[in-house]
Amino acid sequence: MKRVISEPSQVIFIAAEVGNFEVLAELVRSYPDLAWEVDAENRSIIHIAVLHRHAAIFNLINEIRTIRNFVVTYEDDDQNNLLHCAAKLAPPSQLNLVSGAAFQMMHELRWYEEVKKYMPPCFVEKRNSNGKTPRELFTEEHTELLTKAESWMKSMAKSCMIVSTLIATEVFTAAFSIPHGDDDKNCNPIRNAIIFIIFAISDATALVSSSISILIFLSMLVIARYAEDDFFKSLRLKLIYGLVTLFISIISMMVAFSSAFFITYSNSIKWVPIFVSVLALAPITLFTFLLFPLWSDVVYSAYFCRSIFRPSKHVLYYVDG
């Protein structure tokens, strides 16, 4: 332990860099003064945690409140403050934890905004030794990622809009091609009133939801500016709403398709509509399975990403005096 005290950078700074929270927390819990140490470039463990995007270590700023004012105003050898650290591009190992350039951009913006909350107003626009404010540094560091994110988002919007257009075309045609039963004596489409109502509602739902999806994805292609801040909220919400309405339209289309078979063949071969209804579950299941990674990234970027900066309990059990 003498080596830990005499050479803290050998332990706490390496632990902060690699994200070994357990070791760092145990050391700070046992030796609180280690939290004040800086490395060879005059960076604290919080600065290093922000540079390498380790949220658990960054959250220590809420528990060791005696060093909060010190951390948010402290500058390294290049006059970079804590917000400058958040403005720098995350290491590839951290970026690759989130798939898709758009979600990586959202994650980077989340980090920048979370760190900004702790900064005094005068430090938000403070320039480093290269004359750059944190926001200018963020733009410079993320230029390539922003280009990739825009390309990824437009490609996704185009693909989803094509699918939504096909669904809208099919269900619009089906609305004016009301299925009839196979009873020649009484070709009444309302033979089975309940099933017919299901067909009408599901077909209308598919048409409306697919139309909404088309408009959302069209706005992403035509209206969206694809500025940095757009990825933080506007584009993320459009992607969520667009995918949700597309999913609803696929489910509704399959329900309308199945109910049409029930109306058409309910008086002859009864197992046919049942078999077709079971088959109709395949596209829904496949769509969910294939797009599950995308769904998980969307949910993570929208909800769980912000929760990592708000731990539910203290982990150091260290109460400053």
pLDDT in tens, 53-63: 998 888 888 77
Residues 303 and 159 in one domain: yes
Residues 47 and 159 in one domain: no
CATH number of the domain to which 85 belongs: 1.25.40.20
Tell me if 175 is assigned to some domain.
yes
Residues 162 and 68 in one domain: no
Determine the pLDDT at residue 1.
47
Q: What is the DSSP letter of 118?
A: T
Determine the pLDDT at residue 319.
41
The pTM for the full model equals 0.79
Residues 136 and 157 in one domain: no
Count: domains in the chain: 2
Low-confidence residues in the chain, pLDDT < 70: 1-10, 65, 178-192, 266-270, 273, 302-306, 311-321
Determine the pLDDT at residue 275.
77
Please, are residues 23 and 15 in contact by the beta-carbon 8 Å criterion?
Answer: yes
Tell me if 260 is assigned to some domain.
yes
Determine the pLDDT at residue 57.
87
Residues 37 and 63 in one domain: yes
Residues 220 and 270 in one domain: yes
Tell me if 319 is assigned to some domain.
no
Tell me if 316 is assigned to some domain.
no
Domain containing residue 124: 2-141
Residues 202 and 135 in one domain: no
Determine the pLDDT at residue 139.
94
Determine the pLDDT at residue 233.
81
Out of 141, 176, 198, a domain closes at: 141
DSSP per-residue letters across 231-261: HHTHHHHHHHHHHHHHHHHHHHHHHHHHHHH
Out of 88, 120, 141, a domain closes at: 141
Please, are residues 203 and 256 in contact by the beta-carbon 8 Å criterion?
Answer: yes
Determine the pLDDT at residue 266.
65
Print the SS3 string covering 202-234: HHHHHHHHHHHHHHHHHHHHHCCCCCHHHHHCH
Residues 51 and 175 in one domain: no
Determine the pLDDT at residue 6.
52
Tell me if 56 is assigned to some domain.
yes
pLDDT in tens, 101-152: 888 998 899 999 999 988 988 889 999 989 999 999 999 999 999 999 999 9
Tell me if 321 is assigned to some domain.
no
Out of 141, 174, 201, a domain closes at: 141
Residues 134 and 68 in one domain: yes
Determine the pLDDT at residue 89.
94
- The CA–CA distances, whole Å, from 226 to 87, 165, 309 equal 18, 24, 26
Residues 231 and 101 in one domain: no
Residues 179 and 249 in one domain: yes
